A and B are shown apart, each in its own frame.
Chain A
Amino acid sequence: MKIDNQSFIREKFSEFYNKNANRIEIPKSIESREFGFTLFREKIMVRHKGFMRAEDLREFIRKTVPSNVYYSAAYYSLPEAKMEEKGWLGSDLFFDIDADHIPTKCNKEHDVWICRKCGLRGKGPAPSKCPNCGNESFEEKTWPCEICLEAARVEAIKLIDMLTGDLGFSIKDIKCSFSGHRGYHVQVDNEEVLKLDSIARKEIVDYVTGTGIDAVFHGLEEISSGRAKMLMGPNLNEPGWRGRAAKGTYEFLLTASAKDLRKLGLRRKVIEEIIANRDIILESWKTSGPWNLIKGLGLEGWRKIINRGVELQSAKIDTVVTVDIHRLIRLPGTLHGKTGLLKISFPANEIESFDPLKESVALKGEEAKIYVEEAPKFRLGEEVFGPFKNQTVTLPISAAIFLLCKNAGRVVN
């Protein structure tokens, strides 16, 4: 009998939930949460489900074997009611960091796009227009690569640093998790944030992303005494965005090429000055900063340079997730339908050493034989697999399911 991918994956998910239902993490106040599920057959989301007890939720997951499990960041008086009748009581503060939102060093070479009109395939992020037929819509296949995940980790670290250092949350109140695909979730678990409305959350988003920042509020100013004019600017050791703006500026000027500087709209003479004086600029941070070193570079020019530095220091999060106070979030301890990897939580202070591609490997059992159309090299746990192209391979179950979930191959009997 020929078994299709979907049934095969579902069977493995089912085995996992039967043995590991205790790994499903039960959110605080389960009775006030809305749950949502996607199923293997129907391509719809089942929403507005509620559970009074942990056992009920676990039982439901074991029985239905969903491809994805979500719960609301919000607490409701009636989680099963229609959206406008649920009675919002509060919501956890969530941040989503996804490699899709971050420019990465791998340039996403592992991602594939396929033109929906002429079928042309290419690597990396989809172009704006198909070079063959000019069509502008593509099917895109993304891939959780090590470099992408590393980039996401860096963003998460920046975010956690701002949440603890600037906004004063205790590191113990910050929960992290690997989504099971291409990113991290960071949650602030603290009574104080529950009642924050969208407007307040938006201000927090703007804070961590550096949106709307203006260097003149962070120490950049022109002081004139008599006919002499002097610029002042933020310093490396200062708190909050002041220090961060200085660090970003330092970092940017350390390596900025003429092209990078041209993009900021600086004049040719100024650019030459900056590049010729790079060492002096770096040295100047030990004292009062580089603000008066470059001839012809005034407040407006520095403002642009600092803004570029702010970009480097900002945390690239998915802004929509944090502002949305009704958001559904993947439930930790459940499998990701696009990878078969587990969404797994860990304490924020372990972010530097956490190995997502090891800790999230959850499916165990016999090896499986699959035919792989195409897959780049990837690692799961300690083992590296691929690259594969049009070949039949026998793989550990986690790797096989990973490729099947990614739609990169099919089961061979």
Chain B
Amino acid sequence: MAALANEYVKRRYALAEARRAYELLKTEDEEKIVEIARKFGWRIRFSNEKIGLMKFDFALNFIDYLRNTRAFHEKGWKLVNRPVLGGEVHLSKQEVARLLQEEIQRYIEAKIDPKVKSRLPEEILKRMERLKQVYSERIKESPLEDFSSTGIINEAFPPCIRQLYEAARSGRHISHVGRFTLTSFLLHIGMKPDAIIDLFRKSSDFNERMTRYQIEHIAGERGSGTRYTPPKCDTLQTHGLCPGMDNLCKRVRHPLTYYLRKTRSMKRKKIDESKNENR
């Protein structure tokens, strides 16, 4: 496993092992679970507490909780939707098992050391090569979404971007996060920096040199060279930039995904319409 030195395979393997652990942990008794969790440094205790109508088995330090819920998207896992008291999050046994799965996955990933390769016998190295082939046949690297061919279709902007775009066009004040979101979004769908500079021109505190610098920074042409992507829906909500969701919003987690889907469905509609006309 380690010798394959492939991030994807490594993650899949760790995930499978961690899932197996989860299935086993769900039925373990409470003391055992506390013991295992403490091995990972968790501050956890068996609480057996009733809050409202619900009974909770465990209380876990909220920082340990946050460390293991970062990949979760369900509303119910958000800290704000949990009973939290005195720095502890109250959880059922199954929930603790699910959080341990995350911890175990990270643990296994960290344990797989790619340096092991040099010490392996010939026979195993051969098998490894075959596995690598199997992998590359199965997983065709999905190409990065290319927006440039679509052109810029304002009608396909998600509500958040539409609002920011309108604000920029009329020179209204936009917060720093708002500017960042709008700029990185427009760059991603292929708008040229010069066009974006023009968009901000009406802004009351417009400064061409500064605006250009910031846009080029976001485009990855300056500084660290990172090309920034716009924040995901969740983050926009935190900063009060989500003006409320429409139906498509409810099915996506990122403004760029919204745009991509919307442009696609608009294209399909167009094709359908032209077919109808031809009839």
Contacts and interface: CB of A to CB of B under 8 A. Distances in A.
A206 B223 contact: no
A242 B66 contact: no
A6 B176 CA distance: 28
A255 interface: no
B114 interface: no
A168 B81 contact: no
Interface stretch (A12-20, A135-143, A277-285): A135-143
B81 A234 contact: no
A212 interface: yes
Contacts of B86: 165-166, 168
A83 B217 CA distance: 13
The size class of the interface chain A forms with chain B is 35 or more
Contacts of A128: 172
A37 interface: no
A203 interface: yes
A263 B147 CA distance: 39
Interface centre among A135, A202, A323 (most CB of B within 10 A): A202
A203 B204 contact: no
Contact of A200 (B51, B66, B75, B172): B66
Contacts of B53: 219, 221, 232
A214 interface: yes
B83 to A, nearest CB: 5
Contacts of B223: 82-84
Question: Number of contact residues on B: which range applies?
Answer: 35 or more
A206 B63 contact: no
A218 B81 contact: yes
B176 A320 contact: yes
Interface string A189-206: 000110010011011111
Contact of A212 (B83, B87, B202, B237): B237
A137 B173 contact: yes
B80 A138 contact: no
Given A202-B235, A214-B81, A217-B75, A138 B204 contact: yes
Most chain A beta-carbon contacts within 10 A, residue among B51, B204, B224: B204
A312 B261 CA distance: 37
Given A211-B237, A320-B175, A203 B85 contact: no
B127 to A, nearest CB: 38
Nearest to A204: B79
B87 A319 contact: no
B212 interface: no
B238 to A, nearest CB: 5
A196 B202 contact: no
B2 interface: no
A192 B63 CA distance: 8
A319 B173 contact: no
Contacts of A241: 80-81, 83-84
Interface string B55-77: 00000001100110110000110
Contacts of B209: none
Contacts of B195: none
B79 to A, nearest CB: 5
A378 interface: no
B202 A211 contact: no
B240 interface: yes
A320 B237 contact: no
A116 interface: yes
A200 B70 contact: yes
A136 B83 CA distance: 45
Contacts of A232: 52-53
Contact of A137 (B52, B81, B176, B202): B202
B78 interface: yes
Interface string B81-98: 111111110000000000
Contacts of A320: 175-177, 239
A212 B63 contact: no
A213 interface: yes
Contacts of B257: none
Interface string A214-241: 1001110100000000001011001111
Contacts of A207: 79-80, 84
Contacts of B88: 168
A169 interface: yes
Q: Choose among B62, B88, B203, B240 the residue with the greatest number of A CB atoms under 10 Å from its CB.
A: B62
B170 interface: yes
B171 interface: yes
B224 A205 contact: no
Contact of B238 (A139, A240, A319): A319
B238 A323 contact: yes
A139 B265 CA distance: 43
B76 A217 contact: yes
Interface string B175-194: 11100000000000000000
B61 to A, nearest CB: 8
Contacts of B66: 196, 199-200, 203-204
A235 B83 CA distance: 13
B84 A211 contact: no
A167 B62 contact: yes
B51 A206 contact: no
B42 to A, nearest CB: 13
Nearest to B76: A217
8 contacts: A166-B86, A203-B66, A204-B79, A206-B238, A209-B238, A232-B53, A238-B51, A240-B82
Closest 3 CB pairs of A and B: A168-B87, A137-B204, A217-B81
Given A241-B81, A323-B238, 5 more contacts: A200-B66, A203-B80, A232-B53, A235-B52, A240-B82
Interface of A: 82-84, 116, 128, 135-139, 165-169, 192-193, 196, 199-200, 202-207, 209-214, 217-219, 221, 232, 234-235, 238-242, 319-320, 323
